[in-house]
Structure formats: structure tokens, C-alpha cells
Amino acid sequence: MRKTKEICRLADAGLSARAIGRVLGASNSTVSDTISRLKAAGLAWADVEVMPEADLEHRLYREQGHTASDPRQPDWAYVRKELGRRHVTLQLLWHEYRAEHPDGFGYSWYCERYRAWSKTIDPVMRQHHAFGEKVFVDWAGDTVDLVDADTGEITSAHLFVAVLGASNLTYVEAFRNEETEAFLTGHAGAFAYFGGVPALIVCDNLKTGVTRADRYEPDLNREYAELAAHYGSAVMPARVRKPRDKAKVEAGVLHAYRLILAPLRNRTFFSLSELNEAIAQLLEVVNTRPFKKLAGSRRSVFDECEAPLLRPLPEHPYRYRAHRSAKVHIDYHVEVAGHRYSVPHHLVGSRVEVFTDARIVEIYHAGERVALHPRSQAKGRATTDTAHMPSSHREYAAWTPERMETWAARTGPACAALARKIMDSFPHPELGFRSCLGLTSLGRKYGEERLEAACSRALQSGATRYRSVKSILEAGLDSVSLPAPPPPPLTGHDNVRGPDYYA
């Protein structure tokens, strides 16, 4: 209202609307509108000079109908709705408003009136975050294209964002997906970047973090709870559909869009490492950028106030391990991604917990680790610890190679011979039991007569594997005779000249 009083004072002094606008830095339309309202209200400078600002505002605007009836009055409900859409700002909406109303109100007035209006319908509690208390984490909605240099295929990289509550220090890292491993690896990277761990982790109710959302007692993903315990922190999920609970990271995502993705919009990235290198460079720009209204930057506030209050990092960073439950098969192995790993033979038929990462496979039974193997990518093969092999006493003593061969002989001699060849192809015959059991299951499906014919064909062709027999039966080749072998080459004869003749 100070400008309103100044407009009244200068108009009383005889200055034109254009001159008043130049002096006060206001538009001609604003000055003219104010003068018109003063005249309509019957107010002179002597009245305005001593009038409280609240009374002056009431006289000029509320009484004069400066409400929704004014065609220049913005539709604040529409403004609020549009602000809820991605990347829409108050400045953008003001530009659209001025395009529709060229004589409309200025940007400052527009922002002040909207904020005043929003407070009347949606009061907000301003949150205060103590140093070292919270980190807010989330995935950014927008992705970055990665181009395969060989094929030209385009895939998407997803941005993990973490923001400390007090200093606003921000961490951003790109991943190929938003699965559990990427989510937890992003946390480990953020803590390493911060050089410490806050007391609480505030996340959204995404499935990689929270298995069952609840306002009072949410259920955490088991791996997420393990990560929090490893770092001595605790997870506090935000309330469902309450984005203000994690407003810090929402602002961090916005900074990632405007200060990282936007500057990189014209670059083409061919690998995730190349993208993360570019992000790391811009991330330092974001964190060292001076605040607009406060002294210092995110980095300086963090170094001075927050870093000393973070909990120390553990000796080793968190290592994500995939987990699943498995049943130990008759050959005392469990299968992981097509490769079989041994466990102590007495656990045949038991359920075990299998933990895997890129380097090792750990197998637990009843909370105790019973096997540890290096990870192998060789599908169809087996990794066997000789200490796991059965000796004189076996849990399943009936399952011997001889017993397996005798069982296969019930179908026919060809089936028995193939079972023997399968078991002989493994370093230990027990490793072939599963394939032999597969042969008998084919007999139940296709009949023993067809199985015997398929085994005979497989032996003749040298395809001595369970899958070969299965393919023969599926294709119906068990009833088709193999082509006759070619005749043997001719031996020496008086009528055969030989290759030397043509030399």
C-alpha cells in the first residue's frame, strides 16, 4: 500500500499518471487504476496520509469491487490447479495471464495476491529441520536417454535424488532402473558423498522401500531395513499422498531438472558412467551456488554446520544382495540363474535362503550359513564343494547311480544307457540325478515306448542330454528313422588312380 499512498501524494501534487509511473517504477495502467479508485472512494491526500493501510485497502479494493467481478482478476483456483502440474511455475502462469489481459496487474502484485489467497484456504506449517537429522530421498520423474553406440537403441536412465534437510546439500546419481538394487546403491552413494549418515531417512512409499504403507506402522522392505541398520540410521516413510512431508527432495528434484538436466539437454550420452560424470560436475555447481536470500551456499552450510553432526560411515559400504528362498534338490544343489551350487547333502529336501551379489553366493539354513561359493555365470553347470558330498551315510541312500540306472531300465535298455551316459558326463554321478529324473517324467507324459525310441535316437546321434530327448519327443522325431550313414571311403584298388595321378 506504500505505492498507493505515494501515487495519491504525487497526484495531489499535480503530476500526470505517466510521470508518476516513471517516478515509482509502476505501469501507467496501475497508476491510472489507483487514481480512479481514489476518486471513486472520494479520498484526498489529506485523508489517505493518516489512514491505516488496512483501512485504505478496504476502501479502495474491497468496497470498490476489486474481486472476481473485475475481469482482470485472476482465477486463483485455476492458478492453484495448474501449479500442481509438472514444471509449471507462477511466472509462467503470470505471462499467460498478461497475454490474455495486456492491461492486467504486475508480477509482484500477482504473486503477493496468490500467496495471500492460498494461505486463506490451505495454511502450511513451515518445517524446521535440525542439522544431521534427516535426509530426504526419491526418484525424479523425468528420465535421460542413453544411446547404444553399436545398435543405436535408446534406453532410459533414472535419477536418484537425496537432499539433507538442514543444509540442503544435494546428491544425484543415474541408474538404469528404479529397482531395489539401484535404490539401495543410491543411498550408499549419497552417504559416501556426504561423508556421514543422518539419523533419519525420509522416503516415499515406493515398493522398493515400503512393502505396506501405514501412517503409524509401515512395513519396510527387508533389504531397506538392512541398509538402515548397516548405517545406524532409521527409515521414516512419508505419509501417503502427503508430498510436503518430503518437500526438501521435491525441491531437490526440481533443482535436478533445472540445473542439471536442462544444461545437459543437447548432449548425447552413450553410457551410464559418462552421464554420471557429467552429473557430478554440475552437482558441484548446484551445491556451491550462493543462496539468493541467505549468506553462503549448500556446501558452505553443510561443511560448517551439518557435516560435524552426521554419524560416521561404517567400515565397509552396504553391499546389496538379492535374496530368495529355494528347496534343495535330490542332488544336494540349489539353482541360481541357471547354475547349480552345492549345500551339505543332509539338507536334501530342506528349504534354504539364498543371498547373491555379483561376486558370491551365500546359502543359509535356520539362520546359519551352510555354503559359500564364488558366483558363476556358466548356465547348465555346477559348482560343488567336496565337503558337501555324501559319504557312507546318506540322507537319501536309495538314490545311488546304480539305483538310478536300474530305475531307467524299466523303460528300456536305451533309456538305461542314456541315464548312465548322463551321470558319467558329470564329475560326480549324483549331479546327473536331476536330468535322469527328467527322463522318467517324459515317460509319464509321452509313454515309455516313445521315450525308449527317443533315447535310442539320441544315443545314435550322440545327443546325450535330457533336453535333446525332450526336443525329439516334442518334434515327434522318435518315430522317424535316422538317415543311413554314408558308405565308408574306398580303400586302395588297382582301378583307383588316387590324387597323385592329377598332380
- Statement: residue 394 has pLDDT above 50: no
Domain ranges of the chain: 2-121, 134-309, 322-388, 401-479
Sheet strands side by side (includes 339-342): 333-336, 339-342, 382-383
CA distance 156 to 170: 22
pLDDT tens per residue, range 33-86: 888 887 877 778 777 777 776 667 767 765 444 444 567 788 877 887 677 565
Q: What is the amino acid identity at position 168?
A: N
Among 426, 442, 429, residue whose Cα is nearest residue 403: 429
CA distance 307 to 303: 5
Cell of 216: 503409524
Which pLDDT score is estimated for 364? Answer: 93
Which pLDDT score is estimated for 122? Answer: 43
Cα angle at 222 between 218 and 224, to 5 degrees? 80
Sequence-distant (≥ 6) Cβ neighbours of residue 371 within 8 angstroms: 341, 342, 343, 344, 361, 362, 363, 385, 388
Q: What is the amino acid identity at position 372?
A: L
Sheet strands side by side (includes 351-356): 322-327, 351-356, 360-365, 368-374
Mean pLDDT of the chain: 79
Q: Which of 1-5, 369-373, 459-463 has the highest mean pLDDT?
A: 369-373
pLDDT tens per residue, range 150-189: 888 888 889 898 888 878 888 999 998 888 888 888 999 9
pLDDT tens per residue, range 448-484: 888 888 888 888 888 888 888 888 888 888 887 776 6
- Give the pLDDT band (50/70/90) at residue 371: very high
Q: What is the amino acid identity at position 277?
A: E
CA distance 3 to 451: 98
pLDDT tens per residue, range 177-226: 888 888 888 999 999 999 999 988 888 766 555 555 445 455 567 788 88
Contact 83, 90 (CB under 8 A): yes
pLDDT top residue among 345 and 120: 345
- Statement: residue 305 has pLDDT above 50: yes
pLDDT tens per residue, range 411-446: 888 888 988 888 888 777 777 787 888 888 888 888
Q: Which of 30-34, 256-260, 295-299, 456-460 has the highest mean pLDDT?
A: 456-460
Q: 134-309 adopts what CATH topology?
A: Nucleotidyltransferase; domain 5 (3.30.420)
Among 403, 442, 441, 401, residue whose Cα is nearest residue 422: 401
CA distance 485 to 489: 12
- Give the pLDDT band (50/70/90) at residue 266: confident
Q: β-strands 234-235, 322-327: how paired?
A: unpaired
Q: What is the amino acid identity at position 310?
A: L
CA distance 204 to 210: 8
pTM to 2 decimal places: 0.47
- Give the pLDDT band (50/70/90) at residue 352: very high
Among 17-26, 251-260, 302-311, whose mean pLDDT is lowest?
251-260
CA distance 13 to 5: 12
Residues 232-240, mean pLDDT to the nearest whole number: 72
